[in-house]
Amino acid sequence: MAGGKHSNEIKEMMVRLYNGGKGKKVKDLAIEYGIAESTVRYWVVDKPKKENKNKTKEFSNPEIEEMKKEIAKLKEENDILKKAMIIFAKN
């Protein structure tokens, strides 16, 4: 397997065996299956971290409503400031 591409089954098996650090260690998996330690680490540690980082956060309805209220308030304040700028610019 070394030097070639690895199947998704192999990658998934490594992730299952590693199981978030509760199973086998990265080094042990690499030795046992003859795969570079850095490759195994990428599959079981780095890649899941990147995937989680790229996920968008799900907001609850109350959070969305609160954000909508905040946006409306900020728009209103922005309009007031624009009107004030016009008034002061005339003087």
35-48 residue pLDDT tens: 998 888 888 877 77
pLDDT number for residue 57? 72
Residues 48 and 13 in one domain: yes
Helices 8-18 and 26-33, interaxial angle, to 10°? 140
Per-residue pLDDT for 77 more than 90? yes
Residues 45 and 65 in one domain: no
pLDDT number for residue 49? 66
Structural domain boundaries enclosing 69: 59-91
Residues 26 and 64 in one domain: no
| pTM (two decimals) | 0.48
Does the residue 2 lie in any domain? no
Does the residue 1 lie in any domain? no
Residues 12 and 49 in one domain: yes
